[in-house]
Chains A and B, each alone.
Chain A
Amino acid sequence: AQSVTQLGSHVSVSEGALVLLRCNYSSSVPPYLFWYVQYPNQGLQLLLKYTTGATLVKGINGFEAEFKKSETSFHLTKPSAHMSDAAEYFCAVTGGGADGLTFGKGTHLIIQP
């Protein structure tokens, strides 16, 4: 069984500022971790994923995330926010079992001009 906690249902940053979206997970087996983004009126798109190997994962649109096993975290960052980053972001975890991904409740990212 696995679970995901995303801290902060809404995060607001200024354009050009650092984006940090927090995700903590629980998994009884080595986890596979994902971040997905949902733009208004669209489905979800994969930003990045961690499977094994390098703990710092780079994704699309300048986002990256670091897998920290000791902290059971997989926080998402971007050095400089852009207006186009405004969206809903979901962290997800799976142990690779048949039940697939468990999603967090999402974080709505607001970019202020």
Chain B
Amino acid sequence: EAQVTQNPRYLITVTGKKLTVTCSQNMNHEYMSWYRQDPGLGLRQIYYSMNVEVTDKGDVPEGYKVSRKEKRNFPLILESPSPNQTSLYFCASSKRTNEKLFFGSGTQLSVL
């Protein structure tokens, strides 16, 4: 089954404690992206990747890092989380940027 898998689904952490949210897709997609969803703000892009070792900043990259060492994986790293990063995070992938995006189920992050 074609899918994007994110883990964990829920995460509660404290300020400053490094964390990683994993994302994996099984569709051999070149394009992957991370979004955060906040009430009243819709989805805002954090980082995206066109292919292995090719990543770039989206609209709200501050406080986040990503890597794309393998085509299927695109982890989101918060080196020193802060409360303003409390949000619902989605990973997504597609074959090309003008084609259907496949979304993961989301990760609800709370930073205390």
Please name all residues of chain A whose beta carbon is closer than 8 Å to the beta carbon of B94 when the two chains form the complex: 100
Query: From residue A37, how far is it (CB to closest CB) to chain B in Å?
Result: 11
Check B101 against A46 for contact (C-beta < 8 Å). Answer: yes
Check A32 against B98 for contact (C-beta < 8 Å). Answer: yes
The listed residue (B41, B90, B97) touching A97 by CB distance below 8 A is B97
The listed residue (B40, B50, B58, B103) touching A45 by CB distance below 8 A is B103
**Chain B residues engaging chain A, CB cutoff 8 angstroms:** 4, 31, 33, 35, 40-45, 48, 50, 56, 58, 90, 92, 94, 96-98, 100-101, 103-106
A-B contact pairs, 23 of them (CB 8 A): A9-B40, A34-B101, A36-B101, A42-B105, A42-B106, A43-B4, A44-B43, A44-B103, A94-B98, A97-B97, A98-B50, A98-B97, A99-B48, A99-B58, A99-B97, A100-B45, A100-B48, A101-B33, A101-B45, A103-B35, A103-B42, A105-B40, A105-B41
A interface residue count range (under 10 / 10 to 19 / 20 to 34 / 35 or more): 20 to 34
Please name all residues of chain B whose beta carbon is closer than 8 Å to the beta carbon of A34 when the two chains form the complex: 100-101
Query: From residue A98, how far is it (CB to closest CB) to chain B in Å?
Result: 5
Query: What 0/1 pattern do residues 87 to 100 of A give for CB contact below 8 A with B?
Result: 00010001011111
Check B42 against A105 for contact (C-beta < 8 Å). Answer: yes
Query: From residue A7, how far is it (CB to closest CB) to chain B in Å?
Result: 13
User: Looking across the interface, which residue of chain A has its beta carbon closest to that of B94?
Assistant: A100
User: Looking across the interface, which residue of chain B has its beta carbon closest to that of A100?
Assistant: B97
User: Looking across the interface, which residue of chain B has its beta carbon closest to that of A9?
Assistant: B40
Please name all residues of chain A whose beta carbon is closer than 8 Å to the beta carbon of B101 when the two chains form the complex: 34, 36, 44, 46, 100-101
Please name all residues of chain A whose beta carbon is closer than 8 Å to the beta carbon of B50 when the two chains form the complex: 98
User: Once bound together, how far apart are the Cα atoms of A106 and B40, in whole Å?
Assistant: 8
Please name all residues of chain B whose beta carbon is closer than 8 Å to the beta carbon of A104 when the two chains form the complex: 42
Please name all residues of chain B whose beta carbon is closer than 8 Å to the beta carbon of A103 when the two chains form the complex: 35, 42-44
Please name all residues of chain A whose beta carbon is closer than 8 Å to the beta carbon of B42 when the two chains form the complex: 90, 103-106
Known interface pairs A9-B40, A44-B90; A96-B98 also in contact (CB < 8 Å): yes
User: Once bound together, how far apart are the Cα atoms of A94 and B4, in whole Å?
Assistant: 21
